[in-house]
Each structure stands twice: as C-alpha cells, then as structure tokens.
A and B are shown apart, each in its own frame.
Chain A
Amino acid sequence: MTLRNGWEMVVGLEVHTELKTATKMFCGCANSFGSEPNTSVCPVCLGLPGSLPVLNERAIELAMAIGMALHSTIAPSTFHRKNYFYPDMPKDFQISQYDLPINLGGYLDLPDGSRVSIERAHLEEDTGKSTHLGGSGRIHGADRSLVDYNRSGVPLVEIVSGPDIRSSAQARAYVVELRGILIATGASDGRMEEGSLRIDANVSVRQADAPFGTRCEIKNLNSLRSLQRAIDYEAARQVDLIEEGGTVRQETRHWDENVGATSTMRTKEEAEDYRYFREPDLVDLAPDQSWQDRVRAQLPPMPAERRSTLRARISEPVPTVLDAVEVVIDLGLDPFVHAALDRGVEPALALARAANELAGDLDGTSRLAAAAFCDTLLMEQRGELSATQAKTVLAELLARGGDPRDIAALMGYEQLSSDSLGSTVAGLIEEFPDEWTRYRDGDEKLAQFFIGQVMKVTKGQANGKAVVAELRARR
C-alpha cells in the first residue's frame, strides 16, 4: 500500500522466536508447549531464592545458527538483567543480552530482490504466561490472575532489523522469509498461532528522502495479518496526524485486532527504566572458532537457495504452482517434494499435496516418512486412489504414520482399483444401455456421465482416470 501525498513509511521489526530446544535456557525442565500449567518447572525457572542459571549449550548453538543464516558476526557477548516487576516473571527481572549480543549485524535478502539489514540477534529468556479472569481481561481490574510458569525460562532469540522496510507487504515478506530460516536452522517451528513467533513493529513516516520521523512501537503482533494491518493503520494514523498539524509522540502502542486500530500503551515519559546491569550469575559467552565451525558445518541450505533449486525442477511455472513452491519452502516441506519428484510424481501434484495436506498438519510431518508420501502420490497418479482417497490416506499417515497400502486396504479403497471398479462399470453399462451406445459410438461427453454414476455408487471413492480407462477397455 502506498501512502498519499508522497509519504513513505519506515518500518523496523523485532521478531522474537522461541528456540526449539529440548530443555529450557537455564535449567533442565522440558521446553514443551501445552503441558498442564506449572508442571514443567523447577527452582531455577521458578526463580526460587538461592537458585542459579546455567546456560543451555543448544540454545547458544541455535542462536549462532540463526546469526550465521543472517550473515551476522558471531561476537563475544554477555548477559544482563532487565529489571521490572511483573507477576509472570519469577525473578522480577529478565535475563537478556544487552549491549553485547551474540549476533551482530547481517542482512536478509527477500524473494523480490530487496535486502533488509539486521542490527542484531540476541538471546533472552521468556516469561511465564498470565491469564486474567473477570474484569477487563487485563491485569488491573481482574478478579483473579493465574500464572503458568511452564514458559518461564524458555530460550528466545530476538532478531532486530534495521529501519529498511518500506511497506507492510515487505514487512510480511521479511517475516515469512525469516520464518523459513528459523525453520531451516531447526531453531523454531515458526508457529505464530502458538506464540513461537512474536513481533514488535517500529513504524514512522516521512516524506521521501527526508530524515526519519518519530517512531511508535506496536507490541505483540502475533499473526501476519495483524502485522500488515497494524503497520498500515499506524502509518496512516501518523500521516493523518501530521497533515492535521499534529506531531507524532514516541510511544508504545497496542494493536487491537478486533477494532483494527492501535492505541497508546505508554508514552516515552512513562517508559520503564529497566536498570540493565551485567548478570553476575552468568559468565561471558565467547564461542570459540571450532564450536562456530561445527555449527556452520551443520547449517542446512537456506530458503533462498532451496527456492531456486525447487523452481529449477518445475517445467511449467504457472502461478498456482509457484505459490505452492513458496508455501513449501516457507514451511520447510521441500524435502518431501524432492523425494516425490525423484520417484516420478508430477510436480504439480507433489507441490499441491505438500502445500495443502502437509502444510495443514505440520506436527504430523514428523510421523510421515518421505517414502510413504511418495507411494501415496504414485498410487493417486496411477489411478489406484482417487484424489479424495489420497488426501484421506495422507491425513491418516500424518495422524498416525504407517504404510499407505495398508491404510488404503483398511479403508477399503483397494478393491475399487480393479475388480470392484470393473463390476461397477459393467453394472452401469447394463443399467444405461443408451448412454453406453452413444459413448461407444464416440461421444466422449458421456464419459463424464459414467464417472458421475460411478462416483455416486462408490460414494466418491473411485478415481476418474481409472473409470475412463475401464470404459475405454470395454468400448
């Protein structure tokens, strides 16, 4: 969206991602989403008196991997305490990197050819989660507040971009590309709806090439849709304000998804003084060259490279196929597609099933063997399964794993493929002799009639191509 009267928006994003480590950042508690409240806790992540943090090496490695993928410099770094009182923060301070982050500088190239600079990507710990019951639903005025500390101490990386983004679409593309990197490095599952990715946007407006305007920070944008809407709203609000003779105040703003507007959370004057100082309970972090080399050696190809590799295997780059490529790359599903292409599955089919069925159940992909995916698609391609059946088999594979032939047999799909389809078609020929005669005499439109009849009889479980083949064989 372009702004009116020569205004340009200037956006920088802070993306917080939970790291997919087995354990939390400073203790041995499981880092798991969705457990019973306060079951994945210990003296350390509850901040009990006397407890001390010990850094999780895997969190450091994942942070380094993110930095390497973003072309950052891995730098000797330290941890600080960010001090403020809040009930979901058990120590009433957050351990975070401050002036010396682990990853300094870098950039991210977007599919449209633009480049967004990265200022830093640093480690910090997550807080617990509050639920406010009754009243406003916010902490003040609530009847009761409940705190779940399962998330407390989960490792986070905050990736801070430079103020290089000029549209909400570019902001979205940046987040999507970044998400692809986070998934590729194994740092994150990239699931925004589960809070694995949380975004703050710094938005200002200016006349082209003028100095940057005063910025507002919009907190906690938790979906791509919110991100785009909030940025567009905020930029328009600032333009309106300035054109009406007002000035933008530096402040933190809250995005209300239902209202579709941002509102003041706190002004610069009300901003908290976090009294940052070096965390005395942790030692400095300076990964040596050999550790860095080991992490670098294990880095898989990043989305940009994988995108061009996959595109190179597609002979007909029509828009629907290219859209599917984007989805598949973003979600890291391309290994399935490559496996299917290797086995001779048609690109359009492989991409469609990956971008729809697999993308619809990312959890399930850990249970799905690439060979099972390929076998299912080949069965569909050969006409042994209808599209509906293939999708059902995939859903079952995603839910419980297994062998697609067994699943098809269990669901009774297999019989349709040969004998059953043959006898169904034979029965229909007897039932509709006139239509059959016209078809036999060359009226191809009647094929559709028979397919429809077969579908009716088999409740949609036959394969259209197989029906045509059966009809041709009997002509």
Chain B
Amino acid sequence: MKTAEQVAREVRSGATTAMAELNAALSAVRERNEELNVFLHVDEKGARAAASRIDERVARGEAVGPLAGVPVALKDNLCQNGVPTTCSSRILEGWRPPYNATVVDRLLAAGAVPVGKTNLDEFAMGSSTENSAFGPTKNPLNPSRVPGGSSGGSAAAVAADMTPIAIGSDTGGSIRQPAALCGLVGVKPSYGLVSRYGLIAFASSLDQIGPLTKTVMDAAIVLEAIAGHDPMDSTSLPEPAPSLVAHVESGVVGKRIALVRELVDGADPDVVASVDQAVAALREAGATVVELSIPEFRLGLSAYYLIAPAEASSNLARFDGVRYGLRVKRDDVTAMMEATRTAGFGAEVKRRIMLGTYALSAGYFDAYYGQALKVRTRMIEAFARAYRQVDMLIGATTPSVAFEFGSKTSDPMAMYLSDVFTIPTNLSGEAAISVPFGTGEAGLPIGVQLLGPGRSEALLLAGARVLEIADGRP
C-alpha cells in the first residue's frame, strides 16, 4: 500500500485521484472489516464529497494540502460534524456531534479524506480494544491477537491497509502501544502541541491526539498538519505548528541518548533484544548512548491510575441521559440518571469512575489524588534531570508483543501493566514516539520507544527515522 506521502504526491500530479484512493480504501474496508471490526462507522457519503472536492481543486489547478486525497481513519472519540461518535460506548450510541474537532478541520484543510470512525476501548480506557461495547478489534497481523489499545481500531485500519494513516489519542500509551503491537509508527506529541478541542476527554491533563502511520515521514506530515495553536483549547501551546517534515532526515550524529533501565525492566527477552539492537543502530548512526536509571518511573503506574480515573470521573459525569445519547426512562431524574449510567457504561469505565470518585472524596483526597499529584511533580523533575544530561531517552514501548484475546481481561492489573513504559511521558506532558524495530514471538512486531522533552518532536522523528532505515525500511 502507498504511503500518505506517495498518495498526496500522486494526487497533486494527477497520477491518481482522491476518489480512486478512496475507492481502494473502501474496498479494503469492505473486504476485512467484518472479520477485524476496525470501523464502527464508515462515512462513505462524506468521504466521497471530500474526495470530489480535492479532485475538483486539482482539476482547477488550485493548491491542495500536504495530505491531498489521503484517506484517514479517525478514532471514534473525535467529534466529526454529523457523523456518529460513540467512544465505543452504549451511552453515546446514536449521538451525532454538531461540530468538528479542530484536528478534523485541520485534516480536511490539509486535503485528507476522513473515511470513518474506528473502534477503541470504551472512552479510551483499556489496552486491547476488548473494552469496546461493540466488540474487540482484531490484530490484522494475527487475528487471534489484540491490536492493542485504546486506539486499536485506528492502528488496525493502517495495519490492514485500509487507510494509509489514522488518528488516535494517547492518555497513557493509547497511540504508542497499539502502534507497537501492529507494527506502526505512533507519536504521542507534547501536551498542548495538538488541540484537544473535539476530543471526547478521558483524562484532560494527559490526553493528546497523534498519528498512527506506516512510516516516520508520514507521521511527520500528519503531525505538522494537525499541530499548532488553537484558540478553542486553553491548554494549546501559543505557537504555530513546528517544522517537522524538514527534520526527518536530520540523523542523530552527536546526539546523546540514554537507555533507561526502567523502560526495559520486566519486558520479554525478545523485546529487550530489539531495544539493544536499536541502541546499537543509533550508535552506528553517530549517537552516544549511555545507560540511566530513573527510579521515579516505577511510580508512574500508581500515580496514573489515580489521576486519570479522577479526571475521568468528572469528565464522564455529563453522560447522564438529560441532553444526548442513551436515556433509560424512570419516574424521576435521579433514578433516570442512575439507570442510564448503569446501562450505558461498561465494567472498566465504571471501575475507573468509582476509583476516581473515591480518590477525590473528602477525607481521601490528600492520600490518593493529592499524593499522585506529588508523584507527578517528581516525575516531571526526574525527566528534567535526565534531559539535562541527554537529548532523548530510549526504551521499549510495551513489555511484550501483541497478546492473545482474553489473556489479561480477568486481571485489570495485568492489563494496566502493558502501559507501564508509556505512562511516564503522559504524566510529564512531554513527547514520545514508538517505531517498529525487529520482530519477536510469533513473528509479531516490536516497538521501540524514543522519549524527548517538550517540543522535541523533530528530534524524535529524526531518531525514529534512523531506526526505520536500520530495520530495513529505507
């Protein structure tokens, strides 16, 4: 399948049309969606209209954007005007947002063609898409395995060659972990780089939107298109999108990189081996790699599972049956709200709402939420100390390759642990990228993670590009 870069180039030159590319995408969806459960909704009509607009503009000789005619899959927690948006939850079934997320507007402005909405763990809470109310998504590389999560549908759309690129969101690893498990590049941008307006919040202080792509260059193109200040998001960085595409081939000569012990400890041997080979490749390319221990990373998981549920308990309060989505009728409003939320939310969402409510409650706040915030501050300080010594960090993205369905569903802690390497970056609000490097058990892909300070995306993309070449994808 063509990369986004190729599609856009050929659309601009007239070698192909946006409609032809869309048709190819739609037929790939038709072929495998039933088996893999990737798309919850395909917006064929809207996509055709978007593709025609691009083709008309090309025909008139007008400039089209860097993603001209590129089909894109949207995680179903992004609002798209008039298109059903469910967060894979019964509670939002049938709801159509009356507005576009800023990211959707920017993709459209860049010429991309949104094809439809992809499956996720309900409200992005999970690491396998097994928590979707509409059934799990299967890993296209091996349908008995999970695609990862929560952006599992978006990862599968690209891995199954349905669309060249997809958009996900990453609260504790939800882009990078499925990217690793599906053999893709996935970026968790610095907090504030990409507007969250129109992303249905899970944990507002941790959520970031980012790309899932086949190549590092495509990730750079997409990120450059969707990044930059948005007046609709108060937490958006007050600066335009950084130049990324121009830096992809910058290499790592003279860069200092630290292999972080806590980002490989506990990983499967095949994963550790891949990270070691990635380190060797970076050295080969001219970087200096040292080893570093950042013990604070071990505290990340506990802090995350207090902060994220606490924010979620408040963010998800609005799903009460009063204004939109599911309403279970009862005689009075309190009973209606209770019945609606009981019927509408799945088990994992309820678990986290209860965890978060508890963590914020009077008498427990200081011991739980307050303590987690202190850990978060320590995490930020630990990252800052590391970045005074080195330019970026390297480690594994996930402890293992894609796992079997049902292998972790009975034990929430085991499932939570699959995000242990990705969570620290969300807590610090900094940047990280997962890039495929080597394969492991059952020939499944392994993801290597590069982490950098805030606004270091250009550096991370350049590092990932070095690994991409070393892994045999020049």
A interface residues, Cβ below 8 angstroms from B: 43, 46-55, 81, 83, 85, 87, 90-93, 139-141, 145, 147, 273, 275-277, 280-283
Instruction: Flag if B361 contacts A275 (CB, 8 Å).
Output: yes
A43-B99, A49-B200, A283-B235 as given contacts; A141 in contact with B320, CB under 8 Å = no
1/0 per residue, CB under 8 A from A, across B195-235: the answer is: 01111110111000000000000000000000000011111
Given contacts A50-B79, A92-B317, 17 further A-B contacts (CB under 8 A): A48-B79, A48-B98, A49-B85, A50-B77, A50-B97, A52-B234, A83-B313, A85-B320, A85-B337, A87-B333, A93-B317, A139-B333, A140-B333, A273-B361, A273-B362, A275-B314, A280-B311
Tell me how far the C-beta of A56 lies from the nearest C-beta in chain B, rounded to whole angstroms. 11
Instruction: Flag if B318 contacts A50 (CB, 8 Å).
Output: no
Instruction: Flag if A147 contacts B318 (CB, 8 Å).
Output: no
B361 contacts across to A, CB distance below 8 A: 273, 275
Q: Which of A81, A92, A145, A281 contacts B234 (CB 8 A)?
A: A281
24 A-B interface contacts by CB (under 8 A): A46-B323, A49-B200, A49-B318, A49-B319, A50-B197, A50-B198, A52-B232, A53-B234, A83-B317, A85-B334, A93-B314, A93-B317, A140-B332, A147-B322, A275-B313, A275-B357, A275-B362, A276-B360, A277-B310, A280-B203, A280-B235, A280-B311, A281-B204, A281-B235
A92 contacts across to B, CB distance below 8 A: 317-318, 320
B interface residues, Cβ below 8 angstroms from A: 77-79, 85, 87, 92, 95, 97-99, 101, 196-201, 203-205, 231-235, 310-311, 313-314, 317-320, 322-324, 332-334, 337, 357, 360-362, 365, 369
Instruction: Flag if B333 contacts A283 (CB, 8 Å).
Output: no
Tell me how far the C-beta of A55 lies from the nearest C-beta in chain B, rounded to whole angstroms. 7
A87-B333, A275-B314 as given contacts; A282 in contact with B234, CB under 8 Å = yes
Q: How far, in angstroms, from A322 to B164 measured CA to CA in the complex?
A: 80
A275 contacts across to B, CB distance below 8 A: 313-314, 357, 360-362, 365
Nearest 9 pairs of A and B residues by beta carbon: A92-B317, A275-B360, A280-B205, A280-B204, A49-B200, A50-B198, A50-B79, A87-B322, A50-B200
Name A's interface SS: loop
Q: Which of A49, A83, A93, A273 contacts B97 (CB 8 A)?
A: A49
B95 contacts across to A, CB distance below 8 A: 49
Q: How far, in angstroms, from A283 to B310 measured CA to CA in the complex?
A: 18
B77 contacts across to A, CB distance below 8 A: 50
Q: Which of B92, B310, B311 contacts A49 (CB 8 A)?
A: B92
What residue in chain B is nearest A42 (Cβ atoms)?
B99
Tell me how far the C-beta of A315 lies from the nearest C-beta in chain B, rounded to whole angstroms. 56
Q: How far, in angstroms, from A46 to B318 measured CA to CA in the complex?
A: 10
Q: How far, in angstroms, from A277 to B205 measured CA to CA in the complex?
A: 12
Instruction: Flag if A50 contacts B360 (CB, 8 Å).
Output: no
Q: How far, in angstroms, from A83 to B317 measured CA to CA in the complex?
A: 8
Instruction: Flag if B97 contacts A48 (CB, 8 Å).
Output: yes
Name, among A91, A92, A145, A283, the residue most crowded by chain B CB atoms within 10 Å (CB to CB).
Answer: A92
A281 contacts across to B, CB distance below 8 A: 201, 204, 234-235
Tell me how far the C-beta of B133 lies from the nearest C-beta in chain A, rounded to whole angstroms. 15
What residue in chain A is nearest B317 (Cβ atoms)?
A92
A43-B98, A83-B314, A92-B320 as given contacts; A50 in contact with B201, CB under 8 Å = yes
Name, among B77, B333, B337, the residue most crowded by chain A CB atoms within 10 Å (CB to CB).
Answer: B333
A81 contacts across to B, CB distance below 8 A: 314
Q: How far, in angstroms, from A90 to B233 measured CA to CA in the complex?
A: 19
Instruction: Flag if B234 contacts A55 (CB, 8 Å).
Output: yes
What residue in chain B is nearest A282 (Cβ atoms)?
B234
What residue in chain A is nearest B321 (Cβ atoms)?
A87
Instruction: Flag if A277 contacts B322 (CB, 8 Å).
Output: no
Q: How far, in angstroms, from A90 to B205 measured CA to CA in the complex?
A: 21
B92 contacts across to A, CB distance below 8 A: 49
What residue in chain B is nearest A276 (Cβ atoms)?
B360
A140 contacts across to B, CB distance below 8 A: 332-334
Tell me how far the C-beta of B274 lies from the nearest C-beta in chain A, rounded to whole angstroms. 35
Instruction: Flag if B196 contacts A52 (CB, 8 Å).
Output: yes
Q: How far, in angstroms, from A54 to B232 measured CA to CA in the complex?
A: 6
Tell me how far the C-beta of A145 lies from the nearest C-beta in chain B, rounded to whole angstroms. 6
A53 contacts across to B, CB distance below 8 A: 234
